[in-house]
Amino acid sequence: MSDLINIDKNFYDLIIVGAGPAGLSAAIYMARAKYKVLVLEKDKIGGQITITEEVVNYPGVERTSGKKLTETMRVQADYFGAEFKLATVGEMELEGKIKRIHTDKGVFSSLGVVLATGANPRKLGFTGEKEFQGRGVAYCATCDGEFFTDMNIFVVGGGFAAVEEGLFLTKYAKKVTFIVREEDFTCAKTVADKVKDHPQIDIHFQTQVVEVGGESLPSYAIFRNDKTGEEWRYEPGENFGVFVFAGYVPNTSWYPKSVEVNEMGYLVTDMNKKTNIDGVYGAGDVCVKNLRQVVTAVSDGAIAATSLEKHVSALHEELQIPELRGEEEGVKERPEPVEEDKKEEDGSFISGEIRSQLKGLFKKFANPVKIKAVLDNSKLAKEMEGFLEELMELEGPLSWEKQSASGEEQAPYMELFNHKGEETGVRFYAVPGGHEFNSFIVALYNVAGPGQEVDPSLAESIQAVEKKTNLKILISLSCTMCPETVMSAQRSAVLSENIEAHMFDLAHFPELKEKYNVMSVPCLVVNDSKVYFGKKNLEEMTKIIAENQ
């Protein structure tokens, strides 16, 4: 029977869609049991919890950040042999014994699938929410808190996420005011009491936002007390912010119709985390459940993996499939967690762990890449030069040249050229640290070739662009949502000679923040006129480019 099945390098025992705590837990359990496991993630590994500054309720870990906790999980999964791939999942063929997952990096097959796709922040729909998103209305304190320094901030929501993010925002805000629809907070009393006792925080219970209004930025907000019916207007005469933390919407809208979800869109599973389809299991916040926390997510992942193990073993026997993972693919030498957003103790930009990874990646480059650094006398330029000198020490297929900025040219920046010496239109007005380091390396790979796989229809649409199009992506290096937009923009530029992608770190270009009234990142500016907020995948980027032709 196995000779009828295409068992190649893209065939796995288990494919996990989503690399949050649930997906990582499933990967650890299944890979440790010697099965061949692939984890697919479209964004940064770790999921929503990576934006949480402080985790204090995970058993056995007294205090950590969401990013550190999930990075440790990734290292464990990698240690046991799980493979990871950043890819956007499209169509999923789940009903047969052999599952097929279509992505922008190719088609992958497996005997089992764990859906751990999580949930996205919920929009409330009040008047002005959509109009002022990115210009005063925000959804991520870690990404956007700094833009509201010394302002008054309203936090909408009364759950754990709202309380945690509101406390974090006190680092920046002049004052934080909670707007809570319920009679009290819906999180643990110990956490809620921190908010109630905080001198910088006011609270309005049984209250909701009716409207946020103004011109380029919010100048007023209207609230309603649901108990009395009374409405009140906030109009301070200065800028303010509204952060919405009103729960999440399960990321299931793109699932095949054959997968059962409830009326709220949450994935329906049994006690073993099995969905209505054999060989397909769910885990984490995407599932119907009473408590959505890291500890329940990792529990789901473990249950799903151990339940699936029996299913996969039975299929191996039924379909006469040999073991997919050989001895040489067993347990690896234990790596250390990577913290990309910090310099090494010696002041270097690139850690030893990343240096080792890059040397392996450079071997896959089909052609060399040249980087032209246009520098001025700024601190950023000096850091940029130091970063490039370190990068060249790796002896990869890279070279760079230094050029002084002239006239009123906006600088400093790094521009990528292909092996023919041709401009690619990709520029980084930033030292690509933090969450953007990977984006920069992916840009080099795309210029060198073969580059990331792209859906043929998207590639054709991008290559058909005839009008010169400039994409400015305004970012913060602490933003977890920026890399997807950056990678979509630079991939478009590499594919089309008529598209430019210029990435700006707003910490060094505050004039752009003022010019486009940016209060949230990522911010995409097309041809210096049309402004879009929120992360954009390649398909969304292609549509935006087409709209501006």
Q: How do residues 169-186 score in pLDDT, each as one tens digit?
A: 999 999 999 999 999 999
For residues 75 and 45, the answer to whether their CB atoms sit within 8 Å is no
Determine the 3-state secondary structure of 425 from DSSP: strand
* DSSP reduced 3-state for 384: helix
Segment 248-269 shows an average pLDDT of: 94
pLDDT at 341: 43
As to burial, measured by CB atoms within 10 angstroms (0-12 exposed, 13-18 middle, 19+ buried), residue 120 is middle
Cα–Cα distance for residue pair 15/38, rounded to 1 Å: 5
Place of tokens 């190649």: 8
Looking at 55-69, 187-201, 302-316, which range is the least confident one? Answer: 55-69
CB-count exposure of residue 131 (10 Å: 0-12, 13-18, 19+): middle
Please report the pLDDT score of residue 343 as a whole number. 45
φ/ψ of 449, rounded to 5, equals 85, 155
Higher-confidence residue: 1 or 263?
Answer: 263
Exposed/middle/buried for 121, CB within 10 Å: 0-12, 13-18, 19+?
middle
Q: Which residue spans of the chain are classified as CATH 3.50.50.60?
A: 2-118+250-321, 137-246
Q: Token pair of 11, please?
A: 């065939």
| Dist CA 43 CA 442 (whole Å) | 13
The CB density around residue 129, as the number of other CB atoms within 10 Å, is: 17
Q: Which of 2, 43, 49, 61 lies closest to 21, judged by CA?
A: 49
Q: Taking 50 as the threshold, does the pLDDT of residue 3 lie above it?
A: no
Higher pLDDT, 141 or 197: 197
- Give the position of tokens 């529990």: 299
Residue 37: pLDDT over 70: yes
Mean pLDDT of the chain: 90
CATH code for 137-246?
A: 3.50.50.60
| Predicted pLDDT of residue 65 | 84
Mean pLDDT of 76-84: 93
- What span, in angstroms and rounded, lies between the C-alpha atoms of 334 and 354? 15
Q: Looking at residues 479-490, what average pLDDT do you find?
A: 89
Amino acid at the residue 141: A
Residue type, 59: P
pLDDT at 342: 44
- Position 346 pLDDT exceeds 60: no
- Taking the CA atoms of residue 136, residue 142, residue 143 and residue 149 in that order, the dihedral angle to the nearest 10 degrees is 50
| Alpha helices, H only, 170-225 | 189-196
Measured CA to CA in angstroms, residue 82 lies from 14, 24, 72 at distances of 10, 9, 14
Residue 405: what pLDDT? Answer: 87
| Helical ranges in 178-238 per DSSP H | 189-196
Q: Which residue has the higher pLDDT, 189 or 248?
A: 189
Q: Which residues contact 479 (CB under 8 A, 6 or more apart)?
A: 140, 142, 143, 144, 435, 521, 522
**Weakest mean pLDDT among 97-111, 190-204, 355-369, 391-405:** 355-369
CA distance 317 to 289: 34
Mean pLDDT of 433-453: 88
Residue keyed to tokens 């103004």: 214
Query: In residues, how long is the chain?
Result: 549
User: Where in the chain do CATH 3.40.30.80 domains reside?
Assistant: 352-547
Q: How far apart are CA 82 and CA 76, in angstroms?
A: 9
What's 482-548 look like in SS3?
HHHHHHHHHHHHHHCCCEEEEEEECCCCHHHHHHCCCCCCCEEEECCCEEEECCCCHHHHHHHHHHC
| Residue 2 binned pLDDT confidence (cut-offs 50, 70, 90) | very low
- Please give the pLDDT value at position 329: 55
Using DSSP, state whether 469 is helix, strand or coil: strand
Going by pLDDT thresholds of 50, 70 and 90, the confidence category of residue 481 is confident
Tokens of 404: 């002084």
51 forms beta bridges with none
CATH of 352-547 among 3.40.640.10, 3.40.47.10, 3.40.30.80, 2.115.10.20: 3.40.30.80
pTM of the model: 0.74
Q: Over range 490-516, report the average pLDDT.
A: 95
Q: Is residue 311 a contact partner of residue 279, using CB atoms and an 8 Å limit? A: yes
Is the pLDDT confidence value at 312 over 90? yes
- pLDDT interval class at 5 (50, 70, 90): low
Instruction: Look up residue 165 and give its two tokens.
Output: 């993010």
pLDDT band at 327 (very low <50, low <70, confident <90, very high): low
Q: What pLDDT, on a 0 to 100 scale, did the predictor assign at position 332?
A: 54
Q: Is 407 exposed, middle or buried (0-12, 13-18, 19+ CB in 10 A)?
A: exposed
| Confidence at 334, pLDDT banded by 50, 70, 90 | low
Q: Report residue 509 as tokens.
A: 């270009």
Given this model, what pLDDT does residue 519 score? 92
The CATH number of 2-118+250-321 is 3.50.50.60
Nearest to 307 by CA among 343, 333, 272, 280: 272
Q: Between residues 358 and 545, which one has the greater pLDDT?
A: 545
**Could you identify the residue written with the tokens 């004052």?**
175
291/523: higher pLDDT: 523
Strand order in the sheet with 218-225: 207-214, 218-225, 231-234
CA 374 vs. chain centroid, Å, equals 30
Nearest to 115 by CA among 2, 280, 245, 232: 280
Say if residue 83's pLDDT is above 60: yes
Q: How far apart are CA 476 and CA 486, in angstroms?
A: 11
- Cβ contacts of residue 44 below 8 Å, gap of 6+? 50, 435, 438, 480, 483
Can you give the pLDDT at residue 353? Answer: 66
